[in-house]
């Protein structure tokens, strides 16, 4: 079977299943892999941005660099790590202008600084597609890794909380692809969300103090992220409140748009989705989290009011 018929998730899972982690390196299916050196727990990660599948033509080279670093920083944040060092592999199309390559590099450098890290080296060459691979090393200040599969048993009534707003990124993407018309303030917010997402490093560093039992980066979309956490932990999740702001709520209402597909199936939000003990609720907002629902023992069913939210989301090629 050809790769394009397989789909990205099957390809990644087949690859990860072929690996054997040495003693002290864990976990295989998570946002980062971690290991200890001396007394320091370290997260190690690589992630890839491909022009032909990830870049709308209207997305500036600077934004490509920003997003590529943000994707890695977000995975680190979701595990409770602080981004430290980044390396990049830049394979760029031969007809790309030098000034665009420099913009891309500036985007990477600025994003690395934004997250308290540093881009310290890399490799640059030409390819028939643009491929930006970012590798990162993050440090866990308290040596705690917040995994997808809960590190503390999840109870009925634990809180599901997220950072930020969902829905803007897929509006921004659809606008850039010329599929929808938008006006301010939605337009500005949607473009900002898609072009310059922010990894939630500060929220991530608060996960262990908040007693987070489980956490995951939402870059594949809120529905897929919730489904994955539910499946791994034997849960159902009941969503009480959609994570959107008032502007977006008004926009959906005014235009008679069902927000579900934008909010749950959008992707590229780079927000954190965590499961917390009920006792953490009063402190969540201080660290950028908002409760959106709660857990029950179950079989991976995600419900918003009476709607079952399917296990689907953003995936390349399928």
| Residues within window 205-244 making contact with a copy of itself, judged by CB under 8 A | none
* Residue 91 is a binding residue for a copy of itself (CB under 8 A): yes
The CA–CA distances, whole Å, from 70 to 129, 145, 204 equal 21, 19, 13
Whichever of 90 and 273 has its CB closer to a copy of itself, that residue is 90
Interface with a copy of itself (CB under 8 A), residue from 20, 179, 181, 305? 20
* Residue 256 is a binding residue for a copy of itself (CB under 8 A): no
Compute the least distance from the CB of residue 263 to a copy of itself, in Å: 25
* Residue 14 is a binding residue for a copy of itself (CB under 8 A): yes
* Residue 25 is a binding residue for a copy of itself (CB under 8 A): yes
Reduced to 3 states (helix: H, G, I; strand: E, B; else coil), residue 73 is helix
* Residue 127 is a binding residue for a copy of itself (CB under 8 A): yes
Task: For residues 49 and 27, give the distance between their C-alpha atoms in angstroms, rounded to a whole number.
Answer: 23
DSSP per residue over 110-131, as a string? HHHHHTT-EEEEEEEEE-SS-E
Of the chain, the end-to-end C-alpha distance in Å amounts to 14
8 Å CB contact between 24 and 36: yes
* Candidate segments 10-18, 185-193, 227-235, 295-303, binder of a copy of itself by CB under 8 A: 10-18
Burial grade of 76 (CB within 10 A; 0-12, 13-18, 19 or more): buried
Reduced to 3 states (helix: H, G, I; strand: E, B; else coil), residue 278 is helix
Query: What is the pairing mode between strands 214-217 and 118-126?
Result: unpaired
Q: Which of residues 106-125 bind a copy of itself (CB under 8 A)?
A: 106, 109, 118-125
Q: Which two tokens stand for residue 148?
A: 């997808």
Interface with a copy of itself (CB under 8 A), residue from 64, 78, 92, 235? 92
DSSP per residue over 136-185, as a string? EEEE-TTS----SS-SS---TTPEEEEES-SSHHHHHHHHHTTS----TT
Interface with a copy of itself (CB under 8 A), residue from 58, 60, 87, 187? 87
Q: Which two tokens stand for residue 139?
A: 């440090």
Whichever of 117 and 243 has its CB closer to a copy of itself, that residue is 117
CA angle 148, 263, 111 (to 5 degrees): 65
Compute the least distance from the CB of residue 64 to a copy of itself, in Å: 14
Tokens 């760029």 map to which residue? Answer: 92
Q: Which of residues 171-210 bind a copy of itself (CB under 8 A)?
A: none
* Candidate segments 42-50, 190-198, 239-247, 292-300, binder of a copy of itself by CB under 8 A: 42-50
Whichever of 5 and 306 has its CB closer to a copy of itself, that residue is 5
* Residue 96 is a binding residue for a copy of itself (CB under 8 A): yes
Query: What is the pairing mode between strands 235-239 and 302-304?
Result: parallel
Whichever of 158 and 228 has its CB closer to a copy of itself, that residue is 228
Q: Which of residues 57-76 bind a copy of itself (CB under 8 A)?
A: none
* Candidate segments 2-10, 57-65, 204-212, 288-296, binder of a copy of itself by CB under 8 A: 2-10
Whichever of 39 and 254 has its CB closer to a copy of itself, that residue is 39
* Residue 142 is a binding residue for a copy of itself (CB under 8 A): no
Sign (positive or negative) of CA dihedral 210, 166, 157, 214: negative
């Amino acid at each position: 079977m050809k790769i394009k018929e397989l789909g990205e998730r099957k390809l990644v899972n087949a690859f990860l299943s072929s690996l054997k982690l040495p003693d002290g390196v864990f976990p295989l299916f998570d946002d980062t892999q971690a290991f200890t050196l001396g007394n320091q727990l370290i997260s190690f990660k690589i992630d890839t941005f491909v022009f032909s599948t990830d870049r709308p033509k209207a997305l500036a080279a600077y934004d490509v660099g920003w997003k590529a670093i943000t994707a890695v920083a977000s995975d680190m944040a979701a595990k409770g790590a602080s981004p430290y060092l980044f390396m990049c592999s830049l394979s760029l199309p031969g007809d790309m202008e030098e000034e665009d390559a420099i913009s891309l590099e500036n985007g990477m450098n600025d994003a690395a600084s934004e997250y308290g890290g540093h881009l310290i080296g890399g490799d640059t060459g030409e390819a028939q597609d643009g491929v930006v691979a970012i590798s990162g090393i993050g440090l866990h200040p308290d040596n705690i890794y917040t995994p997808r599969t809960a590190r503390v048993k999840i109870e009925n009534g634990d809180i599901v909380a997220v950072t930020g707003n969902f829905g803007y990124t897929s509006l921004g993407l659809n606008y850039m692809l010329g599929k929808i018309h938008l006006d301010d303030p939605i337009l500005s917010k949607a473009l900002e969300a898609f072009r310059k997402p922010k990894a939630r490093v500060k929220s991530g560093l608060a996960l262990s103090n908040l007693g987070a039992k489980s956490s995951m980066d939402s870059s594949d979309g809120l529905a897929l992220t919730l489904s994955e956490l539910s499946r791994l932990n034997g849960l159902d999740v009941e969503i009480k409140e959609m994570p959107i702001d008032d502007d977006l709520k008004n926009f959906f209402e005014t235009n008679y748009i069902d927000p579900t597909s934008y909010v749950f199936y959008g992707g590229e939000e780079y927000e954190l989705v965590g499961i917390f003990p009920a006792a953490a609720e009063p402190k969540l907002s201080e660290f950028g989290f908002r409760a959106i629902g709660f857990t029950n023992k179950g079989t991976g069913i995600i419900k918003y009011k009476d709607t079952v939210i399917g296990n689907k989301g953003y995936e390349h090629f399928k």
